[in-house]
Structure 1
């Protein structure tokens, strides 16, 4: 079974996807981490963020994922576990630009489909989260969920994350960051953020993580029961 969870920044996609994967004993595929790995590859090659540079850099970049016995996903770049390295501010500063390059998206969509089908066969199910997993990566997914939340609530969540990480930033700055990201994601030329026509909507503004996980798990059970 393949489940996709899409939505804007701060809507709770990743935490929910990981929780559902754990509950159902599926695996979780973090598509954003794969884009971060490519961004790290660009930085290591000291390459510009352009289509022309991508055509030269991508042949030397091999991105894959590995799963530990506990289901934890490792991100691999050229045979090296870079799960920690891709979380640096330097990578974060360029990944949104990298993800708009068509050669990069075409390459990673192919890889995500390959990994998704492999893990579905091996574990019985895979859960992906992102912005185009239900519209581009797996348009024929068994279950699609589109998560959303009020901008103020999403900003509050992200601000809390930043505070816990020790980052000095104001709530208003985070709110503007969320608005800017929404604008870019919804209006980008390639694979813009949008709700798939057959996706189930989930507004998480006033829901706890446990409630979000339960919502998706219930939809999975209903899908299985219907046999569709």
Structure 2
């Protein structure tokens, strides 16, 4: 790589359909580039942990107004562990990576993540992180809403049949008795819901590059993404 560009960092936004492996590609790409993987799910878990610690949530319910009134007290960061090279989540300067994966948080994160004001605050914090560049993030509206000015936007897709087959293989390998037709119907219904939802609908950015991984291995799709990222970094 050109010495003048080797320290240049960009923002990479990855959107796409369910069961396309967006998170897998995003995490691998971030690790390969030495970037931060911006894990939105971990952010909502961190907000949930804050709510639990401050008695704003219990028994599966959340005091929405009380939490909204304290959103200004919440600051979330991601740092790469120098030893493991893995992302770790920090809540107000404290490493909470392990705690946010525990059952109490899992039991309360859904109602927290649906609060419009919480979502707006998380997008604001994500955009602040993006100002530092060196970010990879995946989702449904990253290239259109969160990072509309990202230097590289990727829209991942695969045929519903291929995605259903992958899910079918995954579940049957675990010994579960499932119907391929039922899974295919579920995939197609998720596509419909994701594309038509009122909040954060799935939408392809006009300037996104299409990555159809219907017939690609994980290694091939990662190499494709690395090549595209290096091209943008070198510009």
For the superposition of Structure 1 and Structure 2, which TM-score range results when normalised by the shorter chain? 0.7 to 0.9
SS in 1 for 2:191: helix
For 2:214 and 2:48, locate their aligned partners in 1 and report how far apart those are by CA, in whole Å. 31
> What residue in structure 1 maps to residue 126 of structure 2?
112
* Aligned-pair CA distance for 1:51: 5.7
- The aligned counterpart of 1:197 is 206
User: Which structure: larger Rg?
Assistant: 2
- SS of residue in 1 equivalent to 2:210: strand
Match among 14, 22, 35 for residue 44 of structure 2: 35
Residue pair 2:48, 2:105 contacting (<8 A) in 1 also: yes
Residue matched to 2:79: 66
User: Quick one: distance in 2 between partners of 1:65 and 1:84?
Assistant: 13
Equivalent residue, structure 2, for 1:46:
57
Of 154, 157, 167, the residue aligned with 1:148 is 157
**Cα offset for 1:4?**
0.8
After TM superposition, the score normalised by the length of structure 2 is 0.75
Q: Report the counterpart of residue 206 of structure 1 in structure 2.
A: 215
Higher share in helix: 1
Cross-structure match for 1:131 = 140
Secondary structure at the counterpart of residue 131 of structure 2: helix
Equivalent of 2:98 in 75, 78, 84: 84
- Aligned mates of 2:13, 2:143 — CA distance in 1: 5
TM-score, normalisation: structure 1 = 0.77
Q: How does 1:3-22 map to 2 (within 5 A)?
A: 3-22=12-31
Secondary structure in 1 matching 2:198? coil
134 and 176 in structure 1: CA distance in 2 versus 1, 3 angstrom threshold: same
CA distance in 2 between partners of 1:148 and 1:106 (Å):
27
SS at match of 1:197: coil
Contact 1:186 1:192 in 2 (8 A): yes
Change in 2 beyond 3 A, CA 1:24/1:63:
closer
Cross-structure match for 1:185: 194
Q: What is the number of residues matched between the two proteins?
A: 220
Q: 1:102 to 1:169 in 2, by over 3 A?
A: farther
Q: Deviations over 1:57-110 (max 9, x none)?
A: 534544332221143111123544332343456655664554343211210111
Q: 1:191 to 1:51 in 2, by over 3 A?
A: farther
Moved more, 173-182 or 212-221: 173-182
When residues 55 and 213 of structure 1 are mapped into structure 2, their CA distance, relative to the original with a 3 A threshold, is same
SS at match of 1:127: strand
| SS, match of residue 149 in structure 2 | coil
